[in-house]
Structure 1
Amino acid sequence: MREIIVSGMRPTGRLHLGHYHGVLKNWLRLQEEAECYFFVADWHALTTHYETIQGISVAVWDLLIEWLAVGVDPDKAVLFIQSHVPEHAELALLLGMLTPLSWLERVPTFKDQQEKLRERDLATFGFLGYPLLMTADILVYDAHKVPVGADQVAHLEISRELARRFNSFYGRDADAATQVEKGLQVMGKRAAKTFLSLQQRFQQDGDALAVSEAVVFLGGQAGLSAEMREQLLAHLEGKGREILREPQALLTAASKMPGLDGQKMSKSYGNTIPLREAPEVVRKKIRTMPTDPARVARTDPGTPEKCPVWALHQVYSGPETQAWVRNGCTTASIGCLDCKQPVIEAVLAEQAPIRERAEYWAARPQQLTEIAHAGAQRARQRAAQTLERVRAAMGLAHERHDC
């Protein structure tokens, strides 16, 4: 069985070379190795842009066009639009029934985004609950792994915790509950109270140290049998029969694509080169990039490490060109425009086939619609299997018994 990989992007505008080198190249590799579900997260866009929806629909199709243009293949991966698969919303709703508010409020980005987006009213259920929707996006496909950067691992943890909590509530055998109850009685009221406080620290507050403390605490309870200790610890950790799979982080290397100013390429910094940027605009952007401040005159020597253009050479130039740049810069035998020319040529060469394929798909809206529809159908088939298990576990698989 191939591993299942799930990843998505919010439709917030056209993609740039940072997305290509940081995310999409990884998708191209994964689609050859795993069962991949790549989706346009239009519902997620509404969690922060519900007041300014203009452009979201256009951005949805632009995103799909650019995925296809870089080589993401609908025959190798399932490509779809999130809102076309209502199972995401149903699972998010059901997970919400058992999610402590404190878990949502401690998600790292909750307060960070509220601080960064002060001009928007984010005191909404949708924004608070976006981790539930994110979790449903992942769990509904039984994902084994989710591609994330090192700085995003903490964001995935709530999905793992919710899967664990769900399995704890609905995946336990009747005998397990009996063993837990017996164990609490054997310990006595004071010890049982201590154990339950450790359980609360772990399950509601996310305190991982509570588990190791519980192991030591239960080991000191002389009246407990080994089976009782095992069941009590499983009860604390929320372990039960696996109904929802705990996803693992698939760590991806940080994008090495620098922006025009040397910082990470990002729309918020205004330093990007869009995937479909017109050649004349690309030339102008790179030719006007800042360089080493020490090179005021053409004859002034410079230091490549102090120049944003050097960072682009490390992405686009081979050892021979890099050696030519370093020698020419430090000896002032080449000018800054000379240094930039190989980068311009390499970027244009990379963009040319992408731009051509994007124009092809942009001219075929009917085919795009068919790809999105077919992807949604495939996604729903997989998601339906998960929802069937979830409904049954939660007592929602109602059957009519006529008299």
Structure 2
Amino acid sequence: MRPNGRLHLGHYHGVLKNWVRLQHEYQCFFCIVDWHALTTDYAGGPEVARNVHEMTIDWLAAGVSPSSATMFIQSQVPEHAELHLLLSMICPLSWLERVPSYKELELDGQHKDLSTYGFLGYPLLQAADILAYRAGVVPVGADQLPHIEFARDVARRFNHLYGSEEDFEAKAEAAIRKLGKRGSKLYSSLRKSYQEQGDLEALNTARALLKDQQTITLGDQERLFGYLEGSGKLLLPEPQALLGDTPKVSGLDGGKMSKSSGNSIFLRDTPAEIEGKIRRMPTDPARVHRHDPGEPTQCPVWQMHQNHSSDEICRWSEEGCRSAGIGCLECKAPLIEAIQTELAPLQERAIDYEQNPDLVRSILAEGAEQARDEVRETLVVVRQAMGINYR
């Protein structure tokens, strides 16, 4: 996630709640991508640093746990930059220029000069962020699917250039036998399920099986990773997108909640700030007078009720609006209470981190070390494949 400022309810419901769940199902790496922030805001260094600290507090307060996941700052893992550099040697320029968001952001650059190498290359840096961990799945929204496909293309090209090997199939079959009778049978069954039925769960199970093997060499492990999917050594696995239910969280004006639109309720807004923002919200313009019936689908308050209020309150609001049985201020009262109640435990946790910045820094430093241990293994594979491993 880019450190672009304080996080709001849209981030919480659209991303963070999903991360909190995933950290107990997968080995997760959550990265604050400060280099990515500089690709479009290269003059905002000090502000980026402040945003990194505030974002970390929001993550921790929302329930992302350093004991369940690895959380770190991108620039504190310089291996990301090395992998980005090495992958840039094989990435065609045309691939970067055709990324859909490149032209969109260039046109919507808010009067910034984005004709920079960093901005052009940010999709490849994002691919390096993913491939560095040889990630199986990446949780994204539908708008990020082109970036995941780009990372897959880069991995596929790297494997094609550096993963070919004479007598590959015979060597792979020999490596299977080294797994032992039970391991060989399980691997072959999982490989068949994936190749014949496209079973992604079987693919991920087979990868986990190989990662835990102590009886085969790193070369054999790479062969068997590759044998799962094709006919060459799998040096960099092709990541899969993990699409979740990403609800549209309506903002104070009825549009999608975003900081740039000025329609956000932030996770650490005080109860008074939350109340003030909601009380000032526009309502159905047809309800000029208290006794005028309204249409809930035309009202931003109703949209926020659907995200934050109980079914009972939603029915009460809808019926009261259409019948003019309740006024707009009356309708807003339970919404104010629902959001204040939802954010109260998060804000209570945030206070501990706000008062202990050294703890926040130590969490990020420890996470960076854990991340570096993981990425170093990938770089050994990449350097060996490219013929520049001199150790």
| Shift of residue 153, structure 1, vs aligned partner | 0.7
Instruction: Mark the structure with the bigger radius of gyration.
Output: 1
Identity of aligned residues (%): 55
Distance 1:17 1:25 in 2: 10
Q: Give matches, 1:108-187, under 5 Å.
A: 108-174=100-166
Match in the other structure for 1:40: 32
Q: Is the 8 A contact 1:145 1:249 kept in 2?
A: yes
| Shift of residue 321, structure 1, vs aligned partner | 1.3
Deviations 1:52-71 (A, max 9, x none): 32311110011111100011
| Shift of residue 269, structure 1, vs aligned partner | 1.4
Alignment root-mean-square deviation, CA: 1.6
Q: Give matches, 1:175-324, under 5 Å.
A: 240-324=232-316
Note the residue ranges of structure 1 that are not aligned, 5 or more in a row.
1-8, 177-233
Aligned residues: 332
Deviations 1:321-378 (A, max 9, x none): 1221122111111100010111000000111111121121011111111111110111
Match in the other structure for 1:348: 340
Q: Is the 8 A contact 2:127 2:147 kept in 1?
A: no
Structure 1 residue 366 and structure 2 residue 333: aligned?
Answer: no
Name the aligned partner's letter for residue 91 of structure 1. Answer: L
Distance 2:298 2:237 in 1: 47
Distance 2:9 2:311 in 1: 22
Match in the other structure for 2:59: 67
Q: Secondary structure at the match of 1:132?
A: helix
Q: Which of residues 39, 49, 59 is equivalent to 1:57?
A: 49
Name the aligned partner's letter for residue 243 of structure 2. Answer: L
TM-score normalised according to structure 1 size: 0.80
Structure 1 residue 99 and structure 2 residue 91: aligned?
Answer: yes
Distance 1:127 1:256 in 2: 28
Structure 1 residue 336 and structure 2 residue 317: aligned?
Answer: no
| Shift of residue 308, structure 1, vs aligned partner | 0.7
Distance 1:18 1:239 in 2: 43
Match in the other structure for 1:11: 3
Q: Is the 8 A contact 1:167 1:239 kept in 2?
A: no
Runs of 4+ that moved beyond 4 A: none
Distance 1:252 1:119 in 2: 34
| Shift of residue 35, structure 1, vs aligned partner | 0.2
| Shift of residue 151, structure 1, vs aligned partner | 2.0
| Shift of residue 294, structure 1, vs aligned partner | 0.9
Note the residue ranges of structure 2 that are not aligned, 5 or more in a row.
169-225
Distance 1:54 1:83 in 2: 14
Distance 2:88 2:110 in 1: 26
TM-score normalised according to structure 2 size: 0.83
Structure 1 residue 395 and structure 2 residue 368: aligned?
Answer: no
Describe the shift of the 1:174–1:118 C-alpha distance in structure 2 as closer, same or farther (beyond 3 A): farther
Name the aligned partner's letter for residue 95 of structure 1. Answer: L
Q: Is the 8 A contact 2:13 2:249 kept in 1?
A: yes
| Shift of residue 267, structure 1, vs aligned partner | 1.2
Q: Secondary structure at the match of 1:250?
A: strand
Q: Is the 8 A contact 1:164 1:238 kept in 2?
A: no
Q: Secondary structure at the match of 1:66?
A: helix
Deviations 1:222-262 (A, max 9, x none): xxxxxxxxxxxx9xx99631000100000122323110011
Q: Is the 8 A contact 1:147 1:250 kept in 2?
A: yes
Distance 2:231 2:150 in 1: 15
Distance 2:11 2:283 in 1: 24
Q: Is the 8 A contact 1:168 1:238 kept in 2?
A: no
Name the aligned partner's letter for residue 56 of structure 1. Answer: V
Distance 2:231 2:293 in 1: 64
Q: Is the 8 A contact 1:104 1:128 kept in 2?
A: yes
Q: Secondary structure at the match of 2:66?
A: coil
Name the aligned partner's letter for residue 253 of structure 2. Answer: D
Q: Is the 8 A contact 1:144 1:246 kept in 2?
A: yes
Q: Secondary structure at the match of 1:39?
A: strand
Q: Secondary structure at the match of 1:164?
A: helix
Structure 1 residue 22 and structure 2 residue 27: aligned?
Answer: no
Q: Secondary structure at the match of 1:55?
A: helix
| Shift of residue 118, structure 1, vs aligned partner | 4.7
| Shift of residue 175, structure 1, vs aligned partner | 5.9
Deviations 1:113-138 (A, max 9, x none): 11000511111111111111101100
| Shift of residue 51, structure 1, vs aligned partner | 1.9
Q: Is the 8 A contact 1:148 1:250 kept in 2?
A: yes
Q: Secondary structure at the match of 1:32?
A: coil
Distance 2:383 2:135 in 1: 19
Distance 1:254 1:372 in 2: 27
Match in the other structure for 1:76: 68
Q: Is the 8 A contact 1:165 1:239 kept in 2?
A: no
Name the aligned partner's letter for residue 348 of structure 1. Answer: Q
Q: Is the 8 A contact 1:142 1:386 kept in 2?
A: yes
Deviations 1:87-127 (A, max 9, x none): 10010000000000000000111111110005111111111
| Shift of residue 174, structure 1, vs aligned partner | 3.9
Q: Is the 8 A contact 1:303 1:329 kept in 2?
A: yes
